[in-house]
Structure 1
Amino acid sequence: MTLSLKERILPLADVKRAAFNARLAPSLDPKRFLGARTPDLKTIAKSLTSKEKAEFLRSLPHGYIDEDFIHIHLLNTLKTLPEARQAVLAFLPSIESWCQTDSLTFPKIKTDDLLELALEMLDRPESYGRRLGIIWIMKRASKLEYDPARFFLQKALTVDGDEREIQLAKAWLLCEFMIYQPELAWKTLQNPNLDSQIVRTAIQKCLDSRRVTGFQKTNLKRLRQTLSAQ
């Protein structure tokens, strides 16, 4: 079954797109990229029978990143916490790059359930497991009321790890909170105990974002100047 799936992906290969995608994820072997278009991979995922889906999800690790993306598309259709927990723990050993974590968002899982799973992931030994937890908090908790949003933000920011994938996720998290929870994000960025490099990276992400207001960007530039003077 897996071979037939590969046979369906191979004709979709695009050398230029594969090379471009590989440059975005330098931690992965470039040979694992076929460069198939995301809509085409989603079409394949939707066409699989229940039996084919079950067999494919068990056939880890996959050879091509394109297969990982099909795997992720299938996981993103799950609707219950137990299913999501089991599936992500099975897939986690195969995750080696941000391009795998950041597409896995479980959009059909209830927010309370996904945030529960996010807290569990923050304690994982795998750095990309912790990144998943941060990403899910960014996606869901940033839109909560102030107090619960603050709780989850602090949980994510206190996650252990100086790996690049963790530091960048924290900066992205703060940028997203600046959009949905500007008061909370601003207070957090001014916290002297927060890693200054994370703050600088978060500020730059905010300055690059079209969703952050001009007024906010002016204040962020002032904060960056203050950091530079220290």
Structure 2
Amino acid sequence: MTQIQKRLFEIQDESYANFHSKLVPTVNRKKIIGVRVPDCRKLAKEVKNSGEVGEFLSSLPHEYYDENILHALLLSEITDIDECIKAVDDFLPFIDNWAVCDILTPKIFKKYPELVLTKIKEWSNSKETYTCRFGLEMLMSFYLDENFKSEYLEIPARIKSEEYYVNMMIAWFFATALAKQWEETIKYMQTPVLDKWTHNKAIQKARESYRITPEQKEYLKTLKI
């Protein structure tokens, strides 16, 4: 057992592991130690500058789900953009669940929109479920506010997938885009370009959002397929 594995087991919560395993059905329960995210964030801060981090980040694949969560949290704090992108590319093939995918949000990406957008187009075009999902999540996280361009909506709109976790992210993306960029995004609902399930899920999630006005919610209801 590695030192980091020992640290994770020291803050284990088995009741949380039993509960959380139901939320990540693609992960074997035996591979979940049961470390709550706030505790994992605290551990990440404690070890990020230690000598063991380099070896930990290069030791892929990890044995436990919680190691992957810690890995994603550590990558999210890397401050060199080239180093971060390389580390993300190295890690993405080993992501096998939505939770690890979604917690990976490198802060440095916000400072390099053009460079990261090129990678987003590459990631979102991947046939690997969680690489694609990650690319779409980065697009949602960093390109629906001051960096927004209407053409970016085409990136998720063009994706055709049978994967639940990809289509759910596409729906989440469009629901968020409706909240932030209504005028451009509503066109994609008025003339449907998404498959029926994803289209209707995007509308459902948008109508659940407090950022969508009551009038907008009523109009969206008329656009369900």
CA distance in structure 1 between the aligned counterparts of 2:146 and 2:119, rounded to whole angstroms: 16
**What number of residue pairs does the alignment pair up?**
222
Query: Residue 93 of structure 1 corresponds to which residue in structure 2?
Result: 93
Gap runs ≥5 in structure 1: none
After superposition, give the CA deviation of every residue in 1:129-186 in whole Å (9 maximum; x if it has no partner): 11111111111111146xx532111112212422111111110000010111011121
CA distance in structure 1 between the aligned counterparts of 2:150 and 2:80, rounded to whole angstroms: 25
Query: Residue 74 of structure 2 corresponds to which residue in structure 1?
Result: 74
CA distance in structure 2 between the aligned counterparts of 1:160 and 1:84, rounded to whole angstroms: 28
> Please, which of 131, 136, 139 is the counterpart of residue 137 of structure 1?
139
Query: Residue 52 of structure 1 corresponds to which residue in structure 2?
Result: 52
CA distance in structure 2 between the aligned counterparts of 1:138 and 1:58, rounded to whole angstroms: 28
How far the C-alpha of 1:210 sits from its partner, in A, is 2.1
Paired residue type of 2:176: E
The alignment yields a C-alpha RMSD, in angstroms, of 1.7
Secondary structure of the 1:102 match is helix
Summarize the Cα distance change of 1:116–1:81 in structure 2 as closer, same or farther, 3 Å threshold.
farther
Secondary structure of the 1:24 match is coil
Paired residue type of 2:6: E
Equivalent pair of 1:97/1:128 in contact (CA under 8 Å): yes
Summarize the Cα distance change of 1:149–1:111 in structure 2 as closer, same or farther, 3 Å threshold.
farther
Secondary structure of the 2:77 match is coil
CA distance in structure 2 between the aligned counterparts of 1:213 and 1:44, rounded to whole angstroms: 40
How far the C-alpha of 1:47 sits from its partner, in A, is 1.7
After superposition, give the CA deviation of every residue in 1:95-149 in whole Å (9 maximum; x if it has no partner): 111111111111222251332221121222312111111111111111146xx53
Equivalent pair of 1:122/1:134 in contact (CA under 8 Å): yes
Query: Residue 156 of structure 2 corresponds to which residue in structure 1?
Result: 156
Equivalent pair of 1:143/1:149 in contact (CA under 8 Å): no
Secondary structure of the 1:116 match is helix
The structure with more helix, counted as a fraction of residues: 1
Gap runs ≥5 in structure 2: none
Query: Residue 114 of structure 1 corresponds to which residue in structure 2?
Result: 116
**Percent identity, aligned pairs only?**
32
Query: Residue 207 of structure 1 corresponds to which residue in structure 2?
Result: 207
Give the TM-score normalised by the residue count of structure 2.
0.92
Secondary structure of the 2:108 match is coil
Equivalent pair of 1:130/1:159 in contact (CA under 8 Å): no
How far the C-alpha of 1:82 sits from its partner, in A, is 1.6
Equivalent pair of 1:137/1:153 in contact (CA under 8 Å): no
Equivalent pair of 2:124/2:131 in contact (CA under 8 Å): yes
Query: Residue 102 of structure 1 corresponds to which residue in structure 2?
Result: 102
CA distance in structure 1 between the aligned counterparts of 2:206 and 2:86, rounded to whole angstroms: 35
Equivalent pair of 1:78/1:108 in contact (CA under 8 Å): yes
Segment drifting more, 162-171 vs 103-112:
103-112
Secondary structure of the 1:142 match is coil
